[in-house]
Amino acid sequence: MELASYADRAVSLVNTADPYRHRDTLTTCEQAKELLAPEGRCRVTNADVAELRAIRDRLREVFDAAESGRVPRAVQVLNSLMKQYPIRPVVTDHDGASWHLHLAEGAPTIAAVYGAKAAMGLAVQATELGFDRLGVCQAAPCREVFIDTSTNRSRRYHSDRCATRANVAAYRARRKEQARVAGEAEAAANAANAPGTATAAGAKVMAGAGSAAPGR
Ligand SMILES: [Zn+2]
Ligand SMILES: [Zn+2]
């Protein structure tokens, strides 16, 4: 397993919360178990849920800081996470299993194991690809995070669904603008063709523009 692939754990954890739409899918032990499935069979307590949520907030800050160009802040939070949740690799064959690697041996909780792998994976990706590859979805109000692994650094949305939604919204906005411009042109043409009403129509447009101006 590539070390960078552990960054998926950071993305999965951060995306269990959507504070901007008041959605949170990490509030119960059952939900935590689902998230922790890659760690194998494990006992999950309420304390693990609380710890994972705390790690989640800090990982979110890493993405938000990177997204807004505050890389030193992203690095600071990431380093503090790695200090608290260190990688401690051990090769083991416990319980009759074949030799395999434990990355966070001796971590006090399963949440800590998850946190150690998530933070390390994110650090590997951020340093190999660049911090500008840590993204926050641009399809408002979605704020889910992603790691842009595209070759041309063009990814803006966390999912295909959000990309489609954003494209449809942009298309509608363009259509609306086209209709508005066409309507204005038509009104102007009508006014030009009927000199007697030109003043009234002109006054109407002026009034409309005036009331739409901000701060008045
Ligand atoms: Zn094991
Ligand atoms: Zn999204």
Most confident range, picked from 46-55, 149-158, 207-216: 46-55
Exposure of 73 in the CB half-sphere (CA atoms within 13 A): 13
Rounded to whole angstroms, how far apart are CA atoms 164 and 64?
Answer: 23
Ligand 2 center to 20 CA (angstroms): 12
Ligand 2 center to 47 CA (angstroms): 29
What three-state secondary structure class fits 73? Answer: helix
Chain segment 162-184, per-residue pLDDT in tens: 999 999 988 999 999 999 998 88
Ligand 1 center to 93 CA (angstroms): 7
Rounded to whole angstroms, how far apart are CA atoms 71 and 79?
Answer: 12
Ligand 2 center to 19 CA (angstroms): 13
Q: State the pLDDT confidence band at 195, using cuts at 50, 70 and 90.
A: low
Ligand 1 center to 43 CA (angstroms): 14
Write down the pLDDT at residue 42. Answer: 85
Q: What percent of the chain has pLDDT over 70?
A: 90
What is the average pLDDT across 29-47? 93
Ligand 2 center to 114 CA (angstroms): 24
pLDDT of 116 above 90: yes
Ligand 1 center to 25 CA (angstroms): 27
Residue 160 near residue 169 (C-beta atoms within 8 A): no
Residue 13 near residue 56 (C-beta atoms within 8 A): yes
Asked if residue 141 has a cis previous peptide bond (ω within 30° of 0), the answer is: yes
Considering every ligand atom, which ligand is closest to the CA of 11?
2
Q: State the pLDDT confidence band at 196, using cuts at 50, 70 and 90.
A: low
pLDDT of 215 above 70: no
Write down the pLDDT at residue 210. Answer: 43
Considering every ligand atom, which ligand is closest to the CA of 40?
1
Name every residue whose Cβ is closer than 8 Å to that of residue 209 and which is 6 or more positions away in sequence.
none
What is the average pLDDT across 105-131? 96
Chain segment 142-158, per-residue pLDDT in tens: 999 999 999 988 899 99
